[in-house]
Amino acid sequence: RWKIFAAIGLVALLVYAGYALFSSGNIVQPYVTFDKAKELTGTVRVAVFVDHKTRTYDHETGALEFVAKDTKGNTCKVRLNPNFVPPGGFEQTPMAVVIGRYKDGVFEADRMFLKCPSKYEGHPDIKGGDGKTAAGR
């Protein structure tokens, strides 16, 4: 009798897992570089180093814009959807993940989230205002 319940439970779990993975195209998005994002038409994720000196707000649209560098060193202007509020701590973090698509010379990000500091501590490309790496602070 317990074998029947186990089989039903396993089938239900597999159905739920399949639904979760394939019901929304936004659940499984690959990490790519800006060069690859230019080639693709769907939504992708790009891990970026944010150049906060270039951060501006487009007063007409309300969108946050900044220049970012991907993990291969390619730079691109990123425009964050004005309906998405940047995560708390964005102004201080050197690295983020932008989710969106490349369009007309700009990466149009629908969403953005911050990378955990442990992911980039000691990375040679990440320096604070004092010129030290994140791990050296």
Alpha helices in the chain, H assignment, sequence order: 2-22, 34-39
C-beta of residue 109 within 8 angstroms of C-beta of residue 99: yes
Q: pTM to 2 decimals? A: 0.67
pLDDT band at residue 98 using 50, 70 and 90 as cut-offs? very high
Contacts of 110 (CB under 8 A, 6+ apart): 43, 81, 84, 99, 100
pLDDT at 30 > cutoff 50: yes
**Rg (Cα) of the chain, in Å, rounded?**
19
C-beta of residue 72 within 8 angstroms of C-beta of residue 87: no
Our CA angle for 36, 39, 41, nearest 5°, is 110
pLDDT, mean over the chain: 80
C-beta of residue 65 within 8 angstroms of C-beta of residue 77: yes
The rounded percent of the chain whose pLDDT value lies above 70 is 75
3-state secondary structure of 74: coil
Instruction: Supply the pLDDT for residue 45.
Output: 93
CA-CA distance, 105 to 22, in Å (whole number)?
A: 30
The DSSP symbol for 6 reads H
Q: Provide mean pLDDT across the span 22-31.
A: 60
pLDDT at 129 > cutoff 50: no
Cα atoms found within 13 Å of the Cα of residue 120, Cβ hemisphere only: 21
Instruction: Supply the pLDDT for residue 135.
Output: 36
CA-CA distance, 19 to 24, in Å (whole number)?
A: 8
Instruction: Supply the pLDDT for residue 134.
Output: 38
User: Is the pLDDT higher at 7 or at 19?
Assistant: 7
